Structure 1
Amino acid sequence: MENKNFSPVEQSFLNNISKNSQTNVPYIAVDNFPTLGMLTAFRFLEWASENPHGVISLPTGKTPEHFIYWTKHILENWDREDIFELRKKHQLVSPQKPSLADLHFVQIDEFYPIKSSQANSFYHYVNKYYIEGLGLKRENAILINCDEIPLADGKSFEEIFPDHKVDLELRYIEPRTPLEKLQKESVFLIDNWCSDYEQRIRKLGGIGFFLGGIGPDGHIAFNVKGSDPYSTTRLTATNFETQAVAAGDLGGIEISRERLVITIGLETITYNKDAVAIIFAAGEAKAPMIKNALELPPSNLYPASVLSKLPNSRFYITLGAASMLNDLTDDYYQSGSWSQEKTDKAVMLLTQKLNKYAEHLTLEDLQADEYTRLIPGLDENTVQSVITSIENKIKKATDQLTHEVFYHTGPHHDDISLGLLPYIHYQSRNETNESHYSVLTSGFTAVTNKFLTDILRDTLSFVEKGEVEMLNYPDFFEVGYQNKRDKDVYHYLINIASENAIERSRAVSHRMVRNIVELWNLKTKQELEEKIHNISSVIHSSYDGQNPEPKIQTLKGMIREYEEELVWAHFGVRTKNVSHLRLGFYTGAIFTEKPNRERDVYPILQQLKEINPTVISLAFDPEGSGPDTHYKVLQAIAAAVREWGKEKDLSQLKIWGYRNVWYQFNAADVTHIFPVSLNAMSTMDESFTNSYLSQVNASFPSYRYNGKFSHLSIQTWVEQLQAVQLILGKPYFYDNNSPRLRATHGLLFFKEMDVEEFLQSARELEQSTEGVF
């Protein structure tokens, strides 16, 4: 649907793809996440300058990071020369700086129940980043403060819902107890409050400017898949995908699974037919939701498709998020030079469309398809060229490497294992190779309060019973606590073999004792016991999802560090070869800081100089499809490599980009396809389960799978094999002369790059964060 009503700001960001869009809602695609924030900020300020008394509704979470940054940055530096030139470039040319003070703000949604004072409530977020951050007037805001929603007998939600669980079935059943009677009455009072909230919005004429993200099931606000397009503000439950995403905010899916939400409805968003309603999304992981919302007929299966009702609605997305749209696919094949990668991708896509093995494709099939018919020199040998291309990637991956120094990096603990373990294990068997593992952030947010308090309880019990014998060593509190960390690892693993759960727990307690003594500089056993009591008390008095004090953050991170050491010790790696950099940009705040040179780049650079690797592996997620930590770590590694290259010839250095549970490669995009056997799958799953103790119960799962990340990785490998089997055929594997290929039941993909190719792939992010390094 061609749309000629783009605003001047939007026109400055348009490209040919966007102009010719045939989607239900017009969209604009930009290069990366920071640019997405800039576009959104400029459009918001353009609208605000035209509607100074308008009604706005802005999102919470991590997606608005760059929108908030650019909005403040432009306003605070309105007349500065560089901002003036940027405004001129993007058609925000009003000489008068927009005033936001008289705008009316509508909060989109909120967990229920949650205290408004909690930093992980959306009420707190809205007040901090929008009311105070952008200078809006609180009296002009319509907010969702759970503490102020009236309940039965004037009681608080903690009295009415003491376990924070609200049973919506009470709307339809008779209460069985006095408490249930109060709860039933309270549910109806909340429903009435929601109706009043809706009416307050409509009295203002509805929302004039709406900005929202899109969830993993396609939801906007908390209008999950299946929501009525005529829905209004209401108290409602969510689905697993939404709960998985919210787990990080609330301290685990154990909590988000039980928590209801108050959300404006889809009709609330579309009530004002002149509204500018924008959905923004970044990363290839969002591509399926974007395609469904924009290209399929509007449906309650795709809640964001409701925006097709509004003539001024838009999708602002990164190229990755747009990658599955027909426009982008057409542009990929119809523009630029042709490559074997394009041929591979086109033929693979055709086998999936026709559900037909490559060997059975005819020349007529290829000539009839809109993409394969574009292949230069298309003939009977084209399919064989694709088969050969994929076979060569498998051969390359199964070649034995020798005399290599591997520097494997991960943004978080478990990333390396989930992304590359079978291949790492395969290459590490050659003793001429040397392997180093470096996790770049603390990862403390992945350790729940309950997990920490359980370990502290066990540790205290062992200490009090005198079963932590090292406490009796005369120099333990001076220097001894720093020694024998490998023994803690061995102690744990040997008791996996002997199936002694108590001794495994004691091994964990040994490491916890060392960590607590180090962090708090303790000098006696009594101080240790008191400190364990104190930490437990602090945790018990914290709300779920609360960002703990710095030393407790570090203690949580040290648990993850021990887990990482356990994984690699399965394969004989000593703790000295496993590094924990704890880069400072990772703080647990809603918006992690940008990496900077001294704090975040130099530690990596120092390791590069010390280890002198011939291969660097890294999570290759330049658009931030998964956690934002991934692309920020990518920035830091790219900057370190660039610095290293100023003093050393890196022409022979290889970079391996891997992906894991957040997003996957297409087989055509990679250089290596590694066969994964059932034995390798079992090895990865067992090492994950035995080592990543804090992750076994999957408190922070992927929205794609309700379980351990190790199972999701295995599922991914199996799916990748199925795609490749359409090209090579099943007999290629089960009837192969190679036992390794006959044992294949999954495939692992990764992409090898030289330094220049890697740095070029990171260049867009480097430019969009100019000045960081």
Structure 2
Amino acid sequence: MARLNLLEETRFEKLPVTVYPDQQIASVRVAERIARLIREKQQNKEQVVLGLATGATPVGVYDELVRLHREEGLSFRNVITFNLDEYYPMQPTAAQSYVTFMNENLFNHIDIDRENIHIPDGTLPKEQVHSFCLDYERKIEALGGLDLQILGIGRTGHIGFNEPGSAPNSGTRLVTLDELTRSDASRDFGGKENVPTKAITMGIGTIFKAREIILMAWSGKKAPIIRKAVEGEMSGEVPATYLQLSDNVEFVLDEAAASELTRFDTPWLVKDCAWDEKLTKKAVIWLSCKLEKPILKLTEEDYNNNGMAQLVTERGPAYNININIFNQLQHTITGWPGGKPGADDSQRPERAEPAQKRVLIFSPHPDDDVISMGGTFIRLVDQGHQVHVAYQTSGNTAVWDDDVLRYMEFAIDFNRSIGQDGSKLQSVYEQTRQFLEQKEPNQLDTQEVRQVKAFIRKSEAIAGARYAGLPDEHIHFMALPFYESGKTKKNPVTNKDIEQTMALLQQVKPHQVFAAGDFADPHGTHVVCFRIIIEAMNRLRQTEEWAQNCWLWMYRGAWHEFETHEIEMAVPLSPQEVVRKRNAIFKHQSQKDTPVFPGDDAREFWVRAEERNRETASRYDQLGLADYEAMEAFVRWRFE
């Protein structure tokens, strides 16, 4: 019976999928499988041939393999490796090369014979690439083929660098990279313009010959492409769908990457469900959107024809379900994000008391506060709450080099205008200009350049917070140590980051904390900053009463928005408030027009924010609720 139930749940899935709670557990399991294969081959005095991948996805697997080598004696003497791909052209010593990646993450830490390592050569003259690729294939075939191929997946659906349009029988070859792939790599190269346009990649046909294939994917960013690869029709537009033809493939996912598969996203379409309030709300909103009917107009026939007959049977009639969900959504809407004084707050998202709250808004970068919740920020100040804002990082990696010279030139001219000796500043300026003219892509900035970039972001943040109505003493710059590496790759979080956050929380003793919860942030800074806040709050909650009564609200907007069924507080914005929010965002001039790291959304940040806020309001309107100009959405974090 259990087997039949599983088959029913996964009937939309066209290949085997294993889902783990998180990427760490999944990575350890994959590493254990690789280790088991290596040991089995060792016992038979055989070599094992592994196909390896690069990028963020396999790092956890390599970490565990290194641990197994160091702590449990796993030897790699019988291992031969072939990497999937390499940028072209690319020097092996470059920080962005996959030679460097593999050495830093695996090869330098294990006992593999260097002659057994094979990585496509990004230094070859173009006329030699074709013959190199043929030889790469012959070497794999001469060894009897790949025993196990590890894969990640790009957001275009590429495996290796087999971009959309790749043939299912393709071999190792030189390819042109998709623009989205280059955008995703831009942070590693200090800008998309520095990302190579080509790469050498093992072909889909080569990958297919492996006796075992494991494709791994982590995070919600990969969820849309995973659904296409697993449940979609085979198409050259999504090369990973060709893996549906293989009998030897398995997708290994964390829960976030699997979240859009039918069995997790709309489980009522494949199985009987335990209809709690959360799932009911999600399903009813889904049905309303699918049929383009307001919630209060949904009928029993609508439920029955769309896989939700069980819900009506258990919790119906349909009208009662509709009313319940409509009321839940209605109660999320409030013009009083700090709570409405003297009002019955039993059906409101925030407490009425105390009437004037101490509020602390954490902003990972110096502009996330106004981009993501600028309207609510201004509303809280207007309604008399004691609002503080804390900028957790300096954001100094996200300023164009040209701006550094512009601001230094301003300072030199200003010093001259007031009769100050600017010779020292002039000297630093000349050195900085020389450095920037010779700077390599993604090269670490000098201390002076980092400081100027931090000053630029700081001055913009102050301007935005002042525009929102804050006094200077309520504006805090934390410059958390984990961020201040000067590189796109940040330092690990330490106790210093947490203790500094605890100190600010103890200083303000907020009733409300707002924190960025959009973990699709391509920099990874948001999720790191959020975890620091949670750890700091958890420690304080053990001993301090105010912390136990402090509510934490998550905001989004810079990178994506909450789904409607997730929203617990929706703050409507009038047309005038939308303009005020826009003006606050405009204070961040270094992030306007073309920011250094725009992600995969070509819109300016203020445009993204406005359009996402309007989309949230539009969804409420389509569900049958009031029609507002825009809405900012929040979800409350509940401490255990």
TM-score tier by shorter-chain length is 0.7 to 0.9
Deviation digits for residues 599-635 of structure 1 (CA, Å, limit 9, x no counterpart) = 210000000011111111112257x675433322222
Select the residue among 269, 272, 276 that pairs with 1:339.
276
Select the residue among 51, 66, 73 that pairs with 2:67.
73
Residues 468 and 231 of structure 1: CA distance in aligned 2, closer, same or farther (over 3 Å): farther
1:124 aligns with 2:20: no
Q: Distance in 2 between matches of 1:36 and 1:551?
A: 42
Select the residue among 604, 621, 624 that pairs with 1:708.
604
Q: How far did 1:467 drift?
A: 5.1
Aligned amino acid, residue 614 of structure 2: V
8 Å CA contact 1:17, 1:328 repeated in 2 = no
What is the aligned partner in structure 2 of residue 323 from structure 1? 259
What is the aligned partner in structure 2 of residue 457 from structure 1? 405
Secondary structure at the residue paired with 1:728?
coil
1:369 aligns with 2:306: yes
Q: Distance in 2 between matches of 1:222 and 1:397?
A: 50
Q: How far did 1:355 drift?
A: 3.0
8 Å CA contact 1:585, 1:595 repeated in 2 = yes
Q: Distance in 1 between matches of 2:486 and 2:111?
A: 25
8 Å CA contact 1:56, 1:105 repeated in 2 = yes
8 Å CA contact 1:131, 1:137 repeated in 2 = no
Q: Distance in 1 between matches of 2:239 and 2:171?
A: 13
What is the aligned partner in structure 2 of residue 356 from structure 1? 293
1:310-459 matches, within 5 Å, as 310-329=246-265, 338-371=275-308, 373-374=310-311, 376-379=314-317, 380-395=319-334, 400=340, 402-430=355-383, 432-447=384-399, 451-452=400-401, 454-459=402-407
Select the residue among 402, 419, 430 that pairs with 1:533.
430
TM (norm. structure 1) is 0.73
1:105 aligns with 2:94: no
Residues 288 and 618 of structure 1: CA distance in aligned 2, closer, same or farther (over 3 Å): same
Larger RCO (CA within 8 A; separation ≥ 6): 1
1:691 aligns with 2:588: yes
What is the aligned partner in structure 1 of residue 31 from structure 2? 41
Q: How far did 1:714 drift?
A: 2.8
Q: Distance in 1 between matches of 2:113 and 2:8?
A: 38
Select the residue among 425, 449, 465 that pairs with 1:568.
465
What is the aligned partner in structure 2 of residue 50 from structure 1? 40
Q: Distance in 1 between matches of 2:607 and 2:482?
A: 30
Unmatched 5+ stretches in structure 2: 342-354
TM (norm. structure 2) is 0.88
Deviation digits for residues 413-444 of structure 1 (CA, Å, limit 9, x no counterpart) = 322223211211222212x3122112223333
Q: Distance in 1 between matches of 2:171 and 2:558?
A: 35
Deviation digits for residues 685-711 of structure 1 (CA, Å, limit 9, x no counterpart) = 4433441414531332222x2232332
| Residues paired across the two proteins, number | 615
Secondary structure at the residue paired with 1:67?
helix
Deviation digits for residues 181-230 of structure 1 (CA, Å, limit 9, x no counterpart) = xxxxx4x4434433443443333333332223222222222222332222
Select the residue among 109, 124, 135 that pairs with 2:111.
135
Residues 466 and 618 of structure 1: CA distance in aligned 2, closer, same or farther (over 3 Å): closer
8 Å CA contact 1:421, 1:684 repeated in 2 = yes
Secondary structure at the residue paired with 1:585?
helix
Residues 301 and 425 of structure 1: CA distance in aligned 2, closer, same or farther (over 3 Å): same
Q: How far did 1:242 drift?
A: 1.3
1:269 aligns with 2:207: yes
8 Å CA contact 1:111, 1:261 repeated in 2 = yes
Q: Distance in 2 between matches of 1:656 and 1:18?
A: 39
User: How much identity, in percent, do the aligned residues show?
Assistant: 22
Deviation digits for residues 638-696 of structure 1 (CA, Å, limit 9, x no counterpart) = 11111211331134211001122434322111211222444444444443344141453
What is the aligned partner in structure 1 of residue 631 from structure 2? 747
What is the aligned partner in structure 2 of residue 488 from structure 1? none
Select the residue among 268, 293, 307 that pairs with 2:229.
293
Q: Distance in 2 between matches of 1:548 and 1:420?
A: 31
Residues 456 and 584 of structure 1: CA distance in aligned 2, closer, same or farther (over 3 Å): closer
What is the aligned partner in structure 2 of residue 595 from structure 1? 493
Aligned amino acid, residue 99 of structure 2: Y
Aligned amino acid, residue 140 of structure 1: N
Residues 101 and 725 of structure 1: CA distance in aligned 2, closer, same or farther (over 3 Å): farther
1:207-222 matches, within 5 Å, as 207-222=146-161
Residues 562 and 461 of structure 1: CA distance in aligned 2, closer, same or farther (over 3 Å): closer
Aligned amino acid, residue 747 of structure 1: M
Q: Distance in 2 between matches of 1:131 and 1:100?
A: 10
Q: How far did 1:406 drift?
A: 1.4
8 Å CA contact 1:65, 1:591 repeated in 2 = no
Q: How far did 1:377 drift?
A: 2.2
8 Å CA contact 1:407, 1:438 repeated in 2 = yes
Unmatched 5+ stretches in structure 1: 5-15, 79-96, 152-185, 473-523, 734-740, 761-773
Q: Distance in 2 between matches of 1:63 and 1:350?
A: 35
8 Å CA contact 1:347, 1:372 repeated in 2 = no
8 Å CA contact 1:348, 1:727 repeated in 2 = yes
